[in-house]
């Protein structure tokens, strides 16, 4: 298999743009309907995307007071149940669901992803997040979130426990010999008996080993502990990068951390987020962008900036068209907060200009142009060690997804940069990732249950 661009489809509700739902062509009345997501998933599969990606928050996180009612984000389906359902109406596309290491239990998480991987015949991925922000904490018995380092400590151990649980049963543990009455081979079941700083989990898991061995592990942290967690455990990184140079630096940085964990550069695919505005002419593409910007209500814009800083920044007392102020650092999403401040300084943005900029791609790379211009940019990053693929974040759904598939995908295919059919059966195979071995195999005597 020759090396191709990997593509994820990031498809939330009416679209990634904050004001997408207000667009005349947005199908916002369908966003609580399963059929809407069925259409999106089948469309993404038509486009030969590797995976459908869903972000997630453990709070109805509108970023501030609920008084304005102007934001559509944060209320809807739970990703794993939605993907289990979508798996039945698709054949090839993978499903990357976000789930939290801070507020879930490893046993339940391992099990539900094993179940999703079974239901989809090996098309599941887990986006490992630590759920920043106090809003989620307050839904789970805490006044405020754990601090950054502790969240990542816990995340590292959590991923280890989950992998042990997925390895509870060897791939060929189930004999089902009707004659002898032996259902499974007791030498091929392993109790993790994990006892660590954050978790004590005996096991074995009450699910067989997932078809992919492990569902694909995805990570999106940009902080130092986030990058280290990714280098140690992730197979895909979803990252926000603005320029070729920054993306190359990030790519070198993270790929350079793999060797110390005994991993090869190819075992981790780096996929920056991209928000494409594509049309036959650049002017039309730009008009799409402007149309959406004008639909942002100021209250929604401010709530967004607050949400991105973990719900702790209140900008409502500043002049919307004045400069973005210096704010104290919070315990929340440090990397996102820093990015906002950097962007505002770099471009000399007012508060309004900043939220218009953030409202589109939430700090991800935005490309506006013709199919050729967009393909040029993606090719440039792909061929210059800035990206192994991209997570495509259409501003407006379903239009933006259809535009990308109808206009950009054929251009990438003509250039030999993208598949013309799915190569494999599983998400792992399509991404070109190896199926992991079972860490307990060959260690039956030492670790199996008494």
Q: Where are the beta strands (DSSP E) in 199-265?
A: 200-201, 216-219, 236-239
**Binding to its own copies (CB under 8 A): which residues in 181-210?**
181-186, 189, 191, 199-208
**Which residue's CB is nearer to its own copies, number 131 or number 219?**
131
Contact pick of 103, 158, 324, 404 for its own copies (by CB under 8 A): 103
Angle between helices 371-383 and 244-256 (to 10 degrees): 30
Q: Are 5 and 235 in contact (CB under 8 A)?
A: no
**Does the protein bind its own copies through residue 112 (CB under 8 A)?**
yes
Residues 80 and 70: their CA atoms lie apart, in Å, by: 27
Q: CA separation (Å) from 227 to 59, 158, 262, 303, 348? A: 25, 16, 16, 28, 29
Q: How far apart are CB 311 and its own copies at their closest, in Å? A: 12
CB atoms within 10 A of CB 260: 10
Residue 146 engages its own copies in binding (rule: CB under 8 A): no
Pick from 40, 93, 116, 278: which binds its own copies (CB under 8 A)?
116
- Our CB check for its own copies shows the closer of 134 and 388 to be 134
Supply the minimum distance, in Å, between the C-beta of residue 98 and its own copies.
12
Site for its own copies in 280-319 (CB under 8 A): 295, 297, 300
Residues 4, 49, 50, 57: which binds its own copies (CB under 8 A)?
57
State the Cα–Cα distance between residues 223 and 45, nearest whole angstrom: 32
Q: Positive or negative CA dihedral for 322, 366, 247, 251?
A: positive
CB of 146 to its own copies, least distance (A): 15
Beta carbons of 391 and 274 less than 8 angstroms apart: yes
Interface stretch with its own copies, choices 172-180, 229-237, 257-265, 272-280 (CB under 8 A): 172-180
Stretch near its own copies under the rule CB under 8 A, chosen from 56-64, 245-253, 276-284, 407-415: 56-64
Residue 184 tokens, joined: 């499974």
Candidates 3, 65, 347, 442; binder of its own copies (CB under 8 A) is 65
Interface mask toward its own copies for 16-55; x: CB under 8 A? ---x-xxxx-x-xx--x-x---x-----------------
Is the separation of the CB atoms in 80 and 116 below 8 Å?
yes
Q: Could you say whether residue 328 binds its own copies (CB under 8 A)?
A: no
């Amino acid at each position: 298999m020759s090396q191709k661009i990997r593509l994820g489809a990031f498809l939330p509700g009416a679209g990634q743009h904050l004001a997408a739902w207000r667009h005349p062509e947005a199908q916002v009345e369908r966003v609580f309907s399963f059929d809407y997501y069925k259409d999106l998933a089948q469309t993404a599969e038509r486009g030969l995307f590797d995976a459908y990606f869903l972000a997630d928050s453990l709070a109805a996180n509108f970023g501030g007071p609920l008084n304005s009612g102007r934001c559509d984000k944060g209320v809807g389906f739970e990703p794993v149940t939605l993907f289990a359902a979508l798996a039945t109406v698709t054949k090839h596309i993978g499903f990357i669901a976000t789930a939290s290491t801070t507020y879930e239990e490893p046993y339940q998480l391992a099990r539900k992803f094993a179940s999703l991987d079974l239901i989809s015949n090996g098309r599941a991925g887990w986006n490992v997040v630590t759920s920043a922000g106090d809003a989620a904490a307050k839904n789970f018995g805490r006044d405020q979130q754990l601090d950054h380092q502790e969240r990542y400590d816990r995340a590292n151990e959590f991923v280890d426990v989950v992998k042990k649980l997925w390895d509870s049963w060897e791939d060929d543990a189930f004999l089902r010999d009707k004659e002898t009455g032996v259902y499974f081979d007791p030498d091929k079941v392993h109790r993790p008996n994990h006892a660590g700083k954050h978790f004590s989990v005996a096991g074995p898991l009450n699910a067989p080993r997932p078809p992919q061995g492990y569902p694909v592990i995805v990570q999106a942290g940009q902080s130092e502990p986030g990058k280290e967690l990714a280098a140690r455990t992730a197979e895909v990184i979803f990252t926000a990068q603005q320029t070729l140079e920054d993306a190359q630096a990030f790519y070198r940085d993270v790929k350079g951390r793999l060797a110390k964990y005994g991993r090869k550069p190819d075992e981790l695919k780096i996929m920056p987020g991209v928000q494409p505005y594509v049309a036959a002419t650049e002017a039309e593409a730009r008009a799409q962008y402007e149309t959406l910007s004008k639909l942002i209500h100021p209250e929604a814009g401010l709530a967004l900036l607050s949400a991105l800083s973990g719900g702790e920044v209140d900008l409502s007392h500043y002049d919307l068209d004045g400069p973005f102020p210096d704010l104290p650092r919070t315990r929340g999403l440090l990397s996102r907060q820093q990015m906002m401040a950097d962007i505002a300084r770099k471009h000399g943005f007012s508060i309004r200009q900043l939220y218009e900029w953030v409202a589109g791609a939430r700090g991800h790379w935005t490309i506006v142009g013709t199919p050729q211009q967009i393909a040029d940019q993606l090719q440039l990053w792909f061929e210059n060690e800035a990206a192994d693929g991209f997570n495509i974040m259409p501003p407006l759904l379903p239009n933006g997804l259809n535009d990308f598939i109808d206009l950009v995908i054929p251009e990438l295919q003509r250039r030999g940069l993208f598949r013309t059919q799915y190569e494999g059966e599983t998400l792992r195979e399509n991404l070109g990732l190896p199926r992991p071995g079972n860490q307990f195999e060959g260690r039956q005597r030492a670790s199996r249950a008494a």
